[in-house]
Amino acid sequence: MTKAAVDIYDPVFVKGIFDRCSRRYILFSTFCSMGFTERWRRQCVERLDLPGTGGLSGFDLMAGTGEVWPHLFRRHPDVSDITAVDISSGMHKLAMERLHRERSHRIAFVEDDVFASNLPATSADFILSTFGLKTFNETQLRELADLTARLLRPGGRFSFIEASDPKGWFLRPLYLLYLKGILPLVERLFLRGAQDFAMIGTYCTNFGDARRFADMLREAGLKVEFRRHFFGCATGVSGFKP
């Protein structure tokens, strides 16, 4: 298959990227985002706005290594359990090895394509997702919006955040140079990877921002708020199911 014929949104392709870069993902994302990813994860949890009723359960979709869980359990210690769904076995393995041994009784794992995982309808008090939206094309995003509406119980909350293309920001050219030029160079010189991290820039610029996904969530019957972070370098959607 030629490079031009590769579908970068095919689940097998996405799984390969994150399986290969899983061991270096946390270091790379934290260092090269200058700590912004941790700040955005915390803000994503803040936008979830869960009631303090206790016994809540939900899903972390495209969960990766579960770096958002400490923020979730710190802000909502009464959350009883969370099911983490991710297609990458490498990311799952890293999450189980380095993360949250003390929280293992509250976290279940589903290693699968989120659309093939047969998650039960109206089973979630909340849905959370950080930095997974960009790996979906338009059709997949619409399917994800429908899935979110199907999984949530009435009154259930959701919050998604994603690195985005800050169109209209006067420093956007420098930001894109950083994503598409500097990050691949860092990987090539210091990480000796298969240039998988270079795909971050491609996915982000293709994704644009979360406005379209917000509209899809509304069309699925959810109440939605869209928010920009740091001049649009990340965007998020949050809300609830009436």
DSSP string, 119-132: PPTT-EEEEEEES-
- The contacts of residue 56 (CB under 8 Å, 6+ apart) are 50, 76, 78, 79, 80, 125, 126
What is the CATH architecture assignment of 3-240?
Answer: 3-Layer(aba) Sandwich (3.40)
Strands (E) in the chain, as ranges, are 56-61, 79-86, 107-111, 124-130, 152-163, 223-229, 234-240
For residue 53, the model assigns a pLDDT of 76
Q: Phi and psi (nearest 5°) for 240? A: -155, 165
Residue bearing tokens 């982000």: 204
Q: What span, in angstroms and rounded, lies between the C-alpha atoms of 42 and 27?
A: 18
For residue 199, the model assigns a pLDDT of 80
* 230 torsion bin: left (phi>0), alpha (psi -120 to 50), beta (else): left
**Is the Cβ–Cβ distance between 64 and 120 less than 8 Å?**
no
In the chain, domain spans: 3-240
For residue 173, the model assigns a pLDDT of 80
10-residue mean pLDDT profile of the chain (242 residues): values are 72 88 63 74 94 88 90 92 91 71 78 92 97 96 98 98 88 76 66 65 90 98 96 95 98
Pull the structure tokens for residue 168.
């209209």
